[in-house]
Amino acid sequence: MGIEYDVRYAVSPAETKAMDTQALRQNFLIENLFQADKLHLTYSHYDRYIAGGVMPVNQAVALETIDPLKSEYFLERREMGIINIGGAGTVEADGTTYELQHKEALYLGKGVKNVTFLSQETDRPAKFYLNSAPAHQAFPTKKVSRREAEVVKLGTMETANKRTINKLLIAGVIQTCQLQMGMTELESGSVWNTMPAHTHDRRMEVYVYFDIPEGQSVCHFMGQPQETRHIWMQNDQAVISPPWSIHSGAGTSNYTFIWGMAGENLDYGDMDACLITDLR
């Protein structure tokens, strides 16, 4: 089994302001999340968040620790959220097997030692999208189906942002230390997400965009409200959002994205709104 990881350092708004397209992509875009029988991880120094993906095709893939963690096993001091965005698969955690269908989630608490990922069909492999954050307390492992999610409907067709927010790994549905994850699905004809935009200085965020039709793309907007930048993204790519940055996007088609957050506040509504007319 192969494991790949890279490390991204935190950068300030002043540094980001001076970045060209290549530098923005090198610092914030996460490409090649899903490779056959490989574990790909990106370690960000924003809240020491890890985002990654694993796509088992011909064999089971184990969750192994990486050198930056300086740990005996990956979840020795961490928690993890997993959402399957591919075909049906299973996650085995310390001897217990959890079946994850498309768009189902699993939470693994601090202290889980042995984790392996497996697809049920090699011609339609699972794509396990992973988010992990440091944890100070151990909470029970729990699967969360779409039926168990807290669902919120937002937006309108007139403003091209009619969408369904599925809060999967979030307070009120499950106990976590600081990790929160959910999934937003845009309806056909809608393209804007997280608009009006906001920032939240008390936590960072990572988006992964998927369900993007072939030949289409999403333009992700970031930066301070008065100094925005953009990154063009393709299917199954993720982007890191610093605490000081907006995180919004518009696609050439509708799409789905998963948001994951970590920081000092578990209050989902803790955000600083930005007026659309104030964006620059």
Supply the Cα-derived Rg of the chain in whole angstroms: 18
- What's the CATH code of the domain at 192? 2.60.120.10
Task: Work out the end-to-end distance of the chain between its first and last CA atoms, rounded to an integer number of angstroms.
Answer: 46
Please list the residues that pair with 100 across neighbouring strands.
89
**CB of 83 within 8 A of CB of 121?**
no
Confidence of residue 269 (pLDDT cuts 50, 70, 90): confident
Around Cβ 229, how many Cβ atoms within 10 Å?
Answer: 18
pLDDT per residue as tens digits for the range 38-90: 999 999 999 999 999 999 999 999 999 999 999 999 999 999 999 999 999 99
Question: Can you tell me the distance from the alpha carbon of 216 to that of 116, in angstroms, rounded to the nearest whole number?
Answer: 33
Question: Can you tell me the distance from the alpha carbon of 163 to that of 191, in angstroms, rounded to the nearest whole number?
Answer: 9
Burial environment of residue 119 by CB neighbours within 10 A (0 to 12, 13 to 18, 19 or more): buried
Of 143, 140, 203, 128, the residue nearest 176 (C-alpha): 140
Q: Number of structural domains, the chain?
A: 1
Give SS3 for 85: coil
pLDDT of 198 strictly over 60: yes
Length of the chain counted residue by residue: 280
Average pLDDT over residues 171-175: 94
pLDDT per residue as tens digits for the range 77-91: 999 999 999 999 999
pLDDT of 196 strictly over 60: yes
Confidence of residue 204 (pLDDT cuts 50, 70, 90): very high
Average pLDDT over residues 209-229: 97
Question: Can you tell me the distance from the alpha carbon of 76 to that of 65, in angstroms, rounded to the nearest whole number?
Answer: 9
3-state helix, strand, coil in the chain (%, to 5): 10, 45, 45
| Residue matched to tokens 């990154």 | 231
Residue 125 domain boundaries:
3-278
pLDDT per residue as tens digits for the range 97-136: 999 999 999 999 999 999 999 999 999 999 999 999 999 9
Confidence of residue 1 (pLDDT cuts 50, 70, 90): low
> What is the reported pTM?
0.96
**CB of 139 within 8 A of CB of 176?**
yes
Binding-site residue set:
198, 200, 205, 247
Phi, psi at 246, each rounded to 5°: -70, 165
pLDDT of 270 strictly over 70: yes
List of residues 6+ apart from 210 with CB closer than 8 A: 85, 235, 236, 255, 256, 257, 258
Binding-site residue set for Zn(2+):
198, 200, 205, 247
Return the C-alpha torsion angle 192, 80, 89, 83, nearest 10: -10
Of 184, 191, 198, the residue nearest 158 (C-alpha): 191
pLDDT of 267 strictly over 60: yes
